[in-house]
Every structure is written in structure tokens, then in C-alpha cells.
Amino acid sequence: MRRALACLAALTMACSTRAHDAAFRPLIVGDSAPAYAVRTLAGDSVRVGAGAPVLLNVWATWCTSCREEMADLAALERSYAPRGVRVLAVSVDAGDGTRVRRFAEAEQLPFAVAHDPGGVVQQRFQAVGVPETYLISADGRLLWVRRGGLHGAPAAVRATLDSVVAGLKR
């Protein structure tokens, strides 16, 4: 009987581990972006992968790397928004969003900022931390993923953005 219980326990643990592994797999380039829509601080509704490319940044006000990369995101917005690519920064701060709104106003962020206190964006995109940045095509495919700060990455994302913009002109 003990042997049967031990086998049953081992089998249960093995199955639950496999189920967990299958449920959590960070998204990679080429994957379909999960459905995600959010209301920005300005009151606009944004749906990723719905007709226009989006550079989605998952961040928090308490994250030093996140705050530091806002200048890079602002530069990308200024360069690529006129060409059809938008930046969307989604904060996962807890609370009512007052801190997020104050930060966005103080920094005069030129891109769309949203507050997702429930962390839906992290769940959908299997984000393991902040910051994480995803370039999502107009048809909802992941074209570029960066886990961690954008330090040194703007050149890589610009190359991908340039190819996306070239595709928009066709």
C-alpha cells in the first residue's frame, strides 16, 4: 500500500509540474500576441495587434530601470509615431494610478500610458518582471522582445521598427 501511495504521489507531482511548465512559457519572437486591451490615462482604449504596430512596455514607477528607459521610449515615439508605430507604456503599479499619473505628467511622456493594477498585461504576456518590452505587429505577431531595461537596445529595436515601417509603406 505504501508503495502504491508513493507511486501515486510521484505521478501527481510529475503531472502537476508538466501542467505548470506548459501553462507558463515566456513569449518569444514569432508568437501570436495575446489579446490585450487597456484604457490609457487619457481615456483612450488601445488594443494591441489590432491594425497598427505597437511597442508595448510593461513597467512600474518603483522600478529604477523602468524610469530610466522612459527617455528611450519617448525618443522612439517621436521617431516612429508619425510613421504609424505607437508606444504604449502599461504600469503595473498597485493602487489607484495617482502615482502613475503624476509620474507621466512630471516627465511629460509623449506616448500613451496606461495603468493595469491587476497585472493583466503581465499574466497575458507571461512577463516575469519589469521592465519588459514587446514590439507587436499590426496583425498581432511578436516581432521583438526585451526582458529587462532598454539600455543598449534602442539600436536593435530601431532596426526592427525600420523594417516594420517599410512594410507599412507597401
pLDDT (tens digit per residue) in 42-70: 999 999 988 899 999 999 999 999 999 99
- Whether residue 3 is predicted with pLDDT greater than 70 in this model: the reply is no
Give the span between the Cα atoms of 138 and 135, in whole angstroms.
10
**Percent of residues, the chain, with pLDDT higher than 70:** 85
- Do the beta carbons of residue 134 and residue 125 sit within 8 Å? yes
For 108, the 3-state DSSP assignment is: coil
In the DSSP assignment, the letter for residue 33 is P
Calculate the CA dihedral of residues 151, 158, 30, 111 and round it to 10 degrees. Answer: 80
Q: How many domains does one find in the chain?
A: 1
- On whether residue 18 sits in a domain, the answer given is no
φ, ψ for residue 72 (rounded to 5)? -65, -45
For 45, the 3-state DSSP assignment is: strand
User: Is the C-alpha dihedral spanning 68, 26, 119, 57 positive or negative?
Assistant: positive
> 76: left (phi > 0), else alpha (psi -120 to 50), else beta?
alpha
Of 27, 66, 91, give the one whose Cα is nearest residue 150: 66
- On whether residue 154 sits in a domain, the answer given is yes
Residue 146 pairs with which residues in a beta bridge? 133
Averaged pLDDT, 140-147: 94
- On whether residue 11 sits in a domain, the answer given is no
- On whether residue 20 sits in a domain, the answer given is no
CATH of the domain at 138: 3.40.30.10
pLDDT computed for residue 169 by the predictor: 66
pLDDT computed for residue 14 by the predictor: 45
Per the structure, the complete domain to which residue 106 belongs is given by: 26-169
- On whether residue 21 sits in a domain, the answer given is no
Angle between helices 154-169 and 70-80 (to 10 degrees): 20
- On whether residue 58 sits in a domain, the answer given is yes
